[in-house]
Amino acid sequence: MAEDQALGAFLDDLASERSTPGGGGAAAISGAMGAALVSMVCNLTIGKPKYAESEAELKEVLAKSEGLRAELTKAIGDDVQAFDAVMGAYGLPKGETEEAKAERTAKIQAALKVATDVPLECARLCAEVVKLSAVTAEKGNVNVVSDAGVAVQSAYAGLLSAALNVRVNAKSIKDRDFAEGRLQELESLLSDAGATTTATYAAVRAKLD
Amino acid sequence: MAEDQALGAFLDDLASERSTPGGGGAAAISGAMGAALVSMVCNLTIGKPKYAESEAELKEVLAKSEGLRAELTKAIGDDVQAFDAVMGAYGLPKGETEEAKAERTAKIQAALKVATDVPLECARLCAEVVKLSAVTAEKGNVNVVSDAGVAVQSAYAGLLSAALNVRVNAKSIKDRDFAEGRLQELESLLSDAGATTTATYAAVRAKLD
């Protein structure tokens, strides 16, 4: 499992001439760090009398951020599998008959659809972390508001990164309805999260002045 | 050493109610992932006849990105030390005499200066990674251009994150010449890297269309 690997060894693998782990794994880690920092701010707020009014809401945020962190941690490895499946399908013998050729093409196309949906799911999870970061920046312990600001930037970087992997795979998909539907959803996630990130980072900066 | 810790365990610590590791460690990891991805793109370009013209330049980029990755990996732990030193100084007995009070204040101020310079150094390293990402996005193997796009977003997120930790500590420093000088340098790093990141991400997107 990717989460059992030492951080330094993961960075060595990322830097190596092997294609995986690559940007998709880095995107999932950025999202997971964002979720972890949302949880940290909640953990340092819940139980403090000064923030009693927001306690119930931040308990809900914490439950969600811990769920998202688990999913994003799992997503680090999903990306490697999806990439390897595409490479494996392209590596199949090209075939001599029309039937064999069509079968190879179908396998490539099926693998590309999975390799589009895996980073799209990572993008959706990162977009959720962006929303939770905004709540913690507003209602969390002001002594750790900078951590809420780091959370939102990490999660948004994860979303922007996953978006590139969605595009790179969607581009080669022949089923254009499938591809365009995914790209449309992606645009909507990027637009909403971009606005939330800008507003949240500015709010955090204002609290630090 | 932070790099020997398993990724999942690091994320658990980040999410916990302990203040360290926090946003400063996440900032350094974002920068280190960016540097690693710059290295990966270089490693997948160098030696390919199609990119022979850029080979010498990309070898220089690779040497720099591997140096930056080592420094950013080390910076994960530096942040914890700097934070703990500030907390330790605030925790000293307040003292009864004017002399004892002044001594405690001097120790807090010295620790705050270190805790400003540590994330500023992380910000500088991330800004260098942003510049190298731009070169790899332009001249690296086009098959992995999305990884150059992830590199620039990771490094810029690291810079934006480190910036918050510079501000939070600079705010409490009484030596305003020291603080203002650091904040001025930070603004300049953010402004240059912001422009480079926007341009690089757009260039990567254009290559994926």
**Interchain contact A191–B (C-beta under 8 A):** no
Q: What's the pLDDT at A3?
A: 86
A7-15 vs B23-43: helix axis angle to the nearest 10? 30
pLDDT 10s digits, A136-154: 999 999 999 999 999 999 9
Q: What is the mean pLDDT of chain A?
A: 96
Chain A contact probe: residue of B19, B20, B40 with most A CBs at under 10 A: B40
Q: Is the ipTM of this complex over 0.85?
A: yes
Query: B13 to each of A28, A137, B7, B34, B112, how far by Cα in Å?
Result: 17, 20, 10, 22, 24
Buried/exposed code over A27-66 (b: 16+ C-beta within 10 A; e: otherwise): bbbbbbbbbbbbbbbbbbbbeeeebeebbeebeebbebbb
**Interchain contact B174–A (C-beta under 8 A):** no
Scanning A47-106 for CB atoms below 8 A from B yields 65-66, 69, 73, 76
A162 pLDDT above the threshold of 80: yes
Contact A143, A2 (CB under 8 A): no
Q: What is the mean pLDDT of residues A67-82?
A: 95
Other Cβ atoms within 10 Å of A151 Cβ, number: 34
Of the candidates A64, A79, A83, which has an alpha carbon nearest to the alpha carbon of residue A125? A64
pTM above 0.80, yes or no: yes
Judged by CB atoms closer than 8 Å, whether chains meet at A40 and B153 is answered as: no
**Interchain contact A21–B (C-beta under 8 A):** no
Chain A contact probe: residue of B12, B33, B125, B156 with most A CBs at under 10 A: B33
Residues in chain B with pLDDT values less than 50: none
Express as a percent the part of chain A with pLDDT over 90: 95
Scanning A133-162 for CB atoms below 8 A from B yields 144, 146-147, 149-151, 153-154, 156-157, 160-161
Contact A130, B4 (CB under 8 A): no
Neighboring chain B residues of A32 at a CB cutoff of 8 Å: 11
Judged by CB atoms closer than 8 Å, whether chains meet at B33 and A11 is answered as: yes
pLDDT 10s digits, A79-132: 899 999 999 999 999 889 999 999 999 999 999 999 999 999 999 999 999 999
Judged by CB atoms closer than 8 Å, whether chains meet at A44 and B17 is answered as: yes
Q: What is the mean pLDDT of residues A167-192?
A: 98
Q: What is the mean pLDDT of chain B?
A: 96
Q: Beta partners for B6?
A: A6
